Amino acid sequence: MRYTLLAVLFSLLWASAFIGVKVALQSSPPLFLMAFRFLVAGGLLLTYARLRGRRLPRTRAEWGPLVALGLLNTALYLGLSSIALQHLSAGTGAVLASTNPLLLALVAAWLLGERLTAAKIAGLLLSFTGVVWIMRARMGDADRPEAMGLAMLAIGFLVTGTLVFKKLRVAQDLLVVNGAQLLAAGVALFLPSLALEPIGTVRFTPSFLAAQAFLILGVSCLGMLIWFWLLRHGDASRASAYFFLNPVLGLFLGALLLGEPLRVQDFAGSAAVAIGIYLVQRA
């Protein structure tokens, strides 16, 4: 029960990040927005970990896996996704993002030895079909093929990061793991932001600061911490199945907070997603 509740909370936080990013982008270019968010979140987590007596990484061998996680899970995945989504409809972006659990289940069966049962396959396919059903009317004709390829490349980096965490069995305290990988991602994105983006256009408005506070504390600190906990306490394919919830929760949050319309097929697709996730968890 605790695993399920935390997984749903993770999906809710991850889905709500879209709204926070949408607000913050009105005052900041994308790479600076993410670099600022990751640097602050990483610094806060490592400071908190140190105050609680957690041991911070000291050697190159200890930092290596954490830097790799930061580059794969955060900098490359979110950085490339933000670029791709500028030329993709919301529907296409959600469908492509939902290939993550499918790809991970296939690769995890090969590299991690996780069982790929008939029930798990059925659940994954049912959830993916539900996402496609919900998003098909929101898919645009102007989606660029190169942006779709970039989005899939970003998903590949996220899948790789998940496999790295499971394969290497990263043993450090999760506060330290999350803080260090966020700090690494922030550094990696800050340098290209300085080189490529008009930093002088950043406006530290109340809406920008409020959105960043939520993204830093709610999504990067808490959400990513939950994600690593889910990976440590369950199969990679089991944890990643909850990514199917993200577009569903995003729709309902958009309706609740932004007044976006919902359709009957949205509820039918959401039911399919829920049943599919249930099958994966039971497998």
Q: What is the mean pLDDT of residues 213-232?
A: 95
256: pLDDT strictly greater than 90: no
pLDDT digits (tens, 9 = 90+) for 5-39: 999 999 989 888 877 887 888 898 888 999 999 99
Token duo for residue 124 = 């994954």
Closest CA to 24 of 197, 258, 203: 203
Query: Taking all residues of the chain, what is their mean pLDDT, rounded to a whole number?
Result: 89
pLDDT at 95 over 90: no
pLDDT at 85: 75
Neighbours of 187 (CB within 10 A): 17
pLDDT, average across residues 132-146: 80
**Token couple for 57:** 């990484």
* Confidence label for 94 from pLDDT (cuts 50, 70 and 90): confident
Answer whether residue 140 shows pLDDT above 80: no
Answer yes or no: is pLDDT of 258 > 70. no
pLDDT of 89 above 80:
no
Residue 137 has pLDDT above 80, yes or no: no
- Domain positions in the chain: 2-282
Residue with tokens 């290596």: 64
Mention every residue, 6+ apart, whose C-beta is less than 8 A from residue 277. 123, 127, 241, 242, 244, 245
Quick one: which of 246, 245, 240, 234 has its CA closest to 271? Answer: 245
75/95: higher pLDDT: 75
Q: Which of 146, 193, 168 is nearest to 30 (CA)?
A: 193
Q: What was the pLDDT predicted at 165?
A: 93
Q: Answer whether residue 203 shows pLDDT above 70.
A: yes
Number of Cβ within 10 Å of residue 53's Cβ equals 7
Higher-confidence residue: 189 or 91? Answer: 189
What is the model's pLDDT at position 30? Answer: 87
The DSSP output letter for 216 is: I
Over residues 171-198, the pLDDT tens digits come to 889 999 999 999 999 999 998 999 988 9
The pLDDT of residue 32 is 92
